[in-house]
Structure 1
């Protein structure tokens, strides 16, 4: 049984409501989404959004989770502060080049699949708006420029004001049928709640005021040792049930790894003009090729191809917060050390720790949350677990 507990230790939910495979997959998706988005994205000093603890009626954790599930906010506008602190080293510009090279895209600076990788580090301010499942807008505010992603009916537009480039694609199926823009507290909260099972403690941890609204705090904590996740805290709007703030802290302590927080929010219907977009005069417009959406780039480094192939066939070892995803890239030799990739391989190797075990030898690359082991025979083991846990998983996998 999953221990959904309020302050008086009442309420319970059962993890058997989710199929085993789905629970394991969801558990892996949460930390990895943090890295990829980072799951785009997020740490904000709580004082910017919190201002007092309101006196609200008692509620159990199960009741609060049900309230989140039943929340049906389709119209909103506001500002979200997003910050990510994975503890990655300063690569002097190489990091952004690697990210853009590895991310799917067509080379346009306005392509959202490459542009939104910027949310994987640092602090960012987003303006968001939504009017039902067919109209959303997200604007990433930068120094002297702005990037906007607009979904309006059958069209999806990305616009980078700095380069004056536009990326256009057709909305397809459920891919864009979301009631809120990406990189908001709700999206992260939904993924975190999928990961709750009998390896997790869930409690109501008092109240807060976020963006001027009264909210309950839901606290999610792993019961297992070996995970790098310390806790997830979700501030839930007392009236609408919509998550207003999401914070993920590492077991090692310190600043949040990921935090998404509304600093201002309104649930009034946004003006229709909010979602209007016409490419500015002189802008370079890139039309996405049919079938290219969500896929790999037409040309990418071999390592990127191996990684994409591996992720499609990934399996999960273990259970709960200490589960590890593994796949075989098919590339022997581990981190490249010679030839054309020698300089890059040597640089990457210097960032990792050399390890060995029954599986052979490999290199562990660590962040404050997600760690990955690349073995010399081309296998990858990754998860929100410690280095020792990765080695144990690799030994067991062998």
Structure 2
């Protein structure tokens, strides 16, 4: 049996970001580390977007950044500045390539192409079984999401953020490359929370994405018809689809960390690191992996790493509302952006506001649905 100090199962964003932290910190130079991923990661299979201050840690990998955004709903449209933030986009192929090249320079880190079958505690070590081998380690960091315990519980609702997007190139200038469309709810809601999301790379190229916050996914044809209708509405008729992407992110306040143990911790989406109210994950993973490496220097029990904060409760109430009345998303987000400074909303969603500012923001949201959700949780 091959033994390592640490094993990271899954070589996506969270697994590779954690490996990057280990590779960058001399404290872990003597630790033997295995990363087990079932497939070779070298394509643009993901698009990660997030907001942060200029001159961020991975700015050199950013494909495009925007200082301004647009929010739209049926009776309201607002252009806004992201300052003091910038909205940034990273394409996964560049990210994978950079991290893989970095890891190749570290003799203590090995990347294996195998499928993980089982992970379990065994006394003072962890056993990881793959389709080819069995490994042991002192600590395991698992980024492979197991949806079964999440979907089989009823305490916390599970809303999917599901989307389908087209990278298009038009035959004439159609986009303002300096403004991205953060949310455009001015489309048929059909009983759900539905919006368009547009990232213009230049005047003729953009990612146009149809996104829903709802319990169930749609047939692929439905997403594509919605994108076509939106482009027609915007006067965009002649275009070439250069790439497509689709995905689904679970939005839930399920307590993922309760599945952690002394020697096994779930990370990334598997660890509940996706922001429950929005689905944004990359920025949170940047923070969490940094915190986790510092935690490992002083603490041996991984079950003590995660904890609730007040934002967890805020997200829970929003998801309770969307689960009961799925079409309420447009009204809630529109109210927040119409009555507040958008930069303050982004700070709130990034979980960096004061308690006083939290109350100021929430008082400008529809009060009745949140109060009802709170009373239902309390009683």
**Range of TM-score over shorter length:** under 0.3
Higher helix share: 2
